[in-house]
Amino acid sequence: MCCYHAAYEVLTDQEKRKIYDRYGEEGLKQFQGGRGGGGGGMNMQDIFSSFFGGGGGGMEEEEEQIVKGDDVIVELDASLEDLYMGGSLKVWREKNIIKPAPGKRRCNCRNEVYHRQIGPGMYQQMTEQVCDQCPNVKYVREGDFLTVDIEKGMQDGQEVSFFEEGEPKIDGEPGDLKFRIRTAPHDRFRREGNDLHATVTISLLQALVGFEKNLKHLDNHLVQIGSQGVTKPKEVRKFKGEGMPLHQSNKKGDLYVTFEVLFPKTLTDDQKAKLKEVLA
């Protein structure tokens, strides 16, 4: 019953109805501050279908075509730490704001239709803007800070949208502002999808006899990457579940560590002789 009540609210609230028509149920959830709608069962589209019949498009058919400003897409570098643990970024943004201006202007609020003869027995219907009484407006450049939430496990190319924060449109509605996530370079890890890659250098002695070593992860927990056996140059070992978290999931990818072996630049005759005894 609560789902029908929520749908009725959308139908009777002009602002909610406009948001639903433009952005769907997800946009409505953002407008309501993340409270969301009903859980399982019927969704909004199903309920509107039962109200109007067919594909639930009754609401959209009643609305006029809305002129919308341009969407603005901004590439946003997010640190690997924020993408691993979740975080937020404060971003300075400047955009055009519509402000009152002196005088009047012609606008789209009143149009006049007339017919113009373009040939014998041929007429063309024309529309002319005739309003000259609306207050004038102008664009003013203003800036402010926006807080962009970075969710754990977000992938390159995913977008964080701010509805109606894009370019304004006189006699229309603003476009949307979209921050497109891009993973910033990291000094210790490289990301590939949900997996992490790291390169660790060990000595020749460690490669031959084994070693104990910890790798500090993005949230500062330690991953034991030591070995009791021989480690070959360029050897890659997988550490399951130590990669990036999957977006909106409890699962994680894997960590792949490539071992580089640091060879000595020179050896003394005595060292060479001892190595021959051991390795011969």
Q: How confident is the model at residue 110 (pLDDT cuts 50, 70, 90)?
A: low
On the question of pLDDT at 19 being above 90, the answer is: no
Q: What pLDDT score does 117 carry?
A: 72
Q: What pLDDT score does 258 carry?
A: 99
Tokens of 137: 């407006």
pLDDT digits (tens, 9 = 90+) for 140-186: 999 999 999 999 999 999 999 999 999 999 888 999 999 999 999 99
pLDDT digits (tens, 9 = 90+) for 183-205: 999 999 999 999 999 999 999 99
Query: Taking a C-beta distance cutoff of 8 angstroms, is the pair 168, 96 a contact?
Result: yes
Query: Taking a C-beta distance cutoff of 8 angstroms, is the pair 228, 210 a contact?
Result: yes
Tokens of 168: 């304004």
Q: What pLDDT score does 55 carry?
A: 46
Entry pTM? 0.68
Q: What pLDDT score does 32 carry?
A: 61
Task: Give the domains, in start order, of the chain with CATH numbers.
Answer: 2-62 (no CATH), 72-183 (2.60.260.20), 190-265 (2.60.260.20)
Tokens of 188: 């210790």
Is the pLDDT higher at 59 or at 232? 232
Q: What pLDDT score does 71 carry?
A: 96
